[in-house]
């Protein structure tokens, strides 16, 4: 999943001025602020807000960890309190395990992606709160949020690294704002073979298998032919691959033979 | 999203022997192997395979980075080649940008989660390949895979940290194997108020607003009442909160008054 196309414009996130603000409350490690910035920018988010960070988010360590996303760190805002960081926000989600003593709606990150994208399209300014590495968000911070986002994880080991928590939420946001094809097969200059091309290949192959003797047992021939056809069908061959296979069959059958090789075992190293 | 319940059993991943194997091909940094192990275990995966890692995956740095998931590192297998690491696998996905010169089906991580979970349920042994930090998977490795998994990311900055790539794919796998409610509101010992309780609150509030004079402009009264009711409806109050609000109304109206305060501005600090 590496590879950045520097010729492309960075995503302009929805919601005016950079999509949801990612608010890190009292983050402890500069490196985590850097990797969180990287995860944000991977998902087209640029509005990072730091509430009383414990280390310098512009230190060499933080900038190195942010990799190509140092601009996110450099433009990050510093705030004295979570309230200050949220002042201009209209809808706020807190990422945390569901609190025991507060009644808040809990969304999965996937559901949150869809819901927040919908709100952003309606120009609602969104903030997403992430807590301290060790202890998460305090109840006071959670109380400032409209909803909770909780990622379903291995119940025996659900403690996420800060940047990984940011990534999961930002990734689902980004997916919800993009139309991605769930499955695609990019053919480039070729295309899927049509059935006529495939049938000609079957005819060619079966003719040669007949004449070389592979299909000589009369009663087994029909099922062998069907099986060979089935496996080639399943391969969903392209037109180019069909042409290649014609060549393979011809060369195997009529190509140069070196009788000095034991052709049955020489391919094994 | 912190908090691990140590009383709970770790997830037994599907597919026999730990769900998909996560195969890191020539990972460079011990720390990344540790954080990848953590991301795996967050998502219930335990079968880590390392193809010629450049650093020691049992070093102090790696173990520290794995946080509570050091068992995953300790049980990781070492392999001389990608082929060796895949030998017992029946279906293999390679995580990479779509290759230009090979025709392979490309899945989003979300789609891959569903497809791989389906295969794992049918006891197909799955492997997922992740490439080197700097350069990703080589074409030779990609050629060993049945499908490609490509995460749709900011086209101007799509380079993911290794552990983050592992997290995105493992997270989608885990979601596909779990039935998570997209949205939930856990009520604990209370429950949503019923409409009778809500109507009694409206009556109480409106009676007091009438007697204190807030609703004294006759022609505005109906719309004011409707607006107040609308905002309380929208709050989706619990039975407990309705009782609290009865108390709030009563105390505001009849509670102790200290005429020494300017009650209109004293709440502002």
A3, B158: Cβ pair inside 8 Å? yes
Distance CA A21, CA A171 (A): 14
Using an 8 Å Cβ cutoff, are A94 and A145 in contact?
A: yes
Determine the pLDDT at residue A12. Answer: 46
Q: For residue B184, what are the β-bridge partners?
A: A106
Report strand pairing: A183-184 vs B105-107: antiparallel
Are B124 and B88 members of one domain?
yes
Q: Is A34 domain-assigned? A: yes
Last residue of a domain, one of B177, B203, B225: B177
Q: pLDDT confidence of A185, banded at 50, 70, 90?
A: confident
Q: Provide the domain limits for residue A246.
A: 195-254
Determine the pLDDT at residue A103. Answer: 84
Range among A50-54, B89-93, B260-264 rated most confident: A50-54
B158, A5: Cβ pair inside 8 Å? yes
- Joined tokens for residue B53: 């890692």
Query: Per-residue pLDDT averaged across A15-44, rounded?
Result: 89
Helix and strand element counts for chain A (H, E): 10, 8
Residue with tokens 């219930």: B44
Query: Per-residue pLDDT averaged across B237-249, rounded?
Result: 91
- Lowest average pLDDT, out of A13-17, A93-97, A212-216, B98-102, goes to A13-17
Q: pLDDT confidence of B266, banded at 50, 70, 90?
A: low
Determine the pLDDT at residue B127. Answer: 96
Are A128 and A46 members of one domain?
yes
Determine the pLDDT at residue B165. Answer: 96
Are A172 and A200 members of one domain?
no
Residue of B nearest to A129 (CA): B1
Whether the pLDDT of residue B97 is over 90: the answer is: no
Q: Is B63 domain-assigned? A: yes
**Residue B219 neighbours by CB under 8 Å, 6+ apart:** none
Whether the pLDDT of residue B42 is over 90: the answer is: yes
Distance CA B75, CA B72 (A): 5
Cα-based distances in Å from A92 to A17, A112, A120, B156: 16, 11, 12, 27
Q: Is B5 domain-assigned? A: no
Where does residue A90 rank: exposed (0-12), middle (13-18), buried (19+ CB within 10 A)?
middle
Determine the pLDDT at residue B55. Answer: 97
* For helices B221-234 and B195-212, angle between their N-to-C axes, nearest 10 degrees: 140
Q: pLDDT confidence of A9, banded at 50, 70, 90?
A: very low
Q: Is B1 domain-assigned? A: no
Last residue of a domain, one of A177, A210, A236: A177
Q: pLDDT confidence of A2, banded at 50, 70, 90?
A: very low
Query: Per-residue pLDDT averaged across A213-227, rounded?
Result: 91
Instruction: Specify the DSSP class assigned to residue B219.
Output: G
User: pTM higher than 0.90 for the full model?
Assistant: no
Are A51 and A154 members of one domain?
yes
**Residue B89 neighbours by CB under 8 Å, 6+ apart:** B21, B125, B126, B127
- DSSP H or E stretch at residue B147: strand B147-149
Are B148 and B206 members of one domain?
no
Nearest to A186 among B106, B156, B180 (CB): B106
Are A173 and A215 members of one domain?
no
Are B211 and B171 members of one domain?
no
Distance CA B55, CA A216 (A): 56
Domain count of chain B?
2
- Torsion sign (Cα): A72, A77, A80, A86: negative
Q: Domain holding B123: CATH number? A: 3.40.1280.10
A158, B42: Cβ pair inside 8 Å? yes
Q: Is B261 domain-assigned? A: no
Whether the pLDDT of residue A267 is over 70: the answer is: no
Model confidence over B152-169: pLDDT tens digits? 999 888 889 999 999 999
Q: Is B156 domain-assigned? A: yes
Q: Is A71 domain-assigned? A: yes
A155, B111: Cβ pair inside 8 Å? no
Residue with tokens 């493992």: B170
Q: pLDDT confidence of B14, banded at 50, 70, 90?
A: very low
Q: pLDDT confidence of B4, banded at 50, 70, 90?
A: low
Whether the pLDDT of residue A258 is over 80: the answer is: no
Determine the pLDDT at residue A265. Answer: 55
Last residue of a domain, one of B177, B208, B239: B177
Are B153 and B205 members of one domain?
no
Query: Per-residue pLDDT averaged across B246-255, rounded?
Result: 86
Whether the pLDDT of residue A161 is over 80: the answer is: yes
Are B162 and B201 members of one domain?
no
Q: In chain B, which residues have their Cβ closer than 8 Å to the Cβ of A6?
A: 156
Are A149 and A108 members of one domain?
yes
Q: Is B135 domain-assigned? A: yes
A131, B42: Cβ pair inside 8 Å? no
Are A33 and A147 members of one domain?
yes
Are A60 and A101 members of one domain?
yes
Whether the pLDDT of residue B56 is over 60: the answer is: yes
Instruction: Specify the DSSP class assigned to residue B68.
Output: G
Q: In chain B, which residues have their Cβ closer than 8 Å to the Cβ of A43?
A: 153-154
């Amino acid at each position: 999943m590496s590879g950045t196309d520097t010729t492309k414009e960075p995503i302009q996130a929805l919601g005016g001025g950079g999509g949801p603000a990612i608010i890190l409350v009292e983050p402890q490690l500069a490196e985590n602020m850097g990797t969180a910035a990287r995860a944000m920018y991977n998902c087209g988010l640029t509005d990072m807000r730091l509430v009383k960070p414990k280390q310098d988010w512009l230190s060499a360590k933080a900038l190195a960890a942010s990799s190509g996303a140092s601009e996110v760190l450099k433009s990050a805002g510093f705030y004295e309190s979570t309230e200050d960081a949220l002042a201009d926000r209209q809808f706020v989600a807190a990422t945390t395990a569901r609190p025991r003593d507060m009644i808040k709606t809990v969304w999965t990150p996937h559901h949150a992606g869809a819901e927040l994208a919908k709100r952003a399209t309606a120009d609602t300014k969104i903030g997403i709160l992430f807590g301290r590495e060790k202890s998460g968000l305090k109840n006071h911070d959670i109380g400032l949020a409209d909803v909770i986002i909780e990622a379903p994880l291995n119940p025996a080991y659900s403690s996420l690294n800060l940047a990984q928590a940011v990534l999961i939420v930002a990734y689902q946001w980004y997916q919800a704002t993009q139309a991605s094809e769930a499955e695609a097969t990019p053919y480039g200059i070729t295309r899927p073979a049509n059935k006529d091309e495939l049938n000609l290949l079957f005819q060619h192959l079966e003719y040669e298998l007949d004449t070389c003797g592979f299909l000589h047992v009369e009663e087994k021939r029909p099922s062998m032919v069907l099986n060979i056809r089935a496996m080639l069908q399943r391969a969903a061959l392209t037109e180019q691959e069909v042409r290649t296979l014609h060549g393979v069959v011809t060369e195997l059958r009529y190509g140069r033979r070196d009788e000095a090789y034991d052709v049955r075992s020489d391919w094994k190293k």
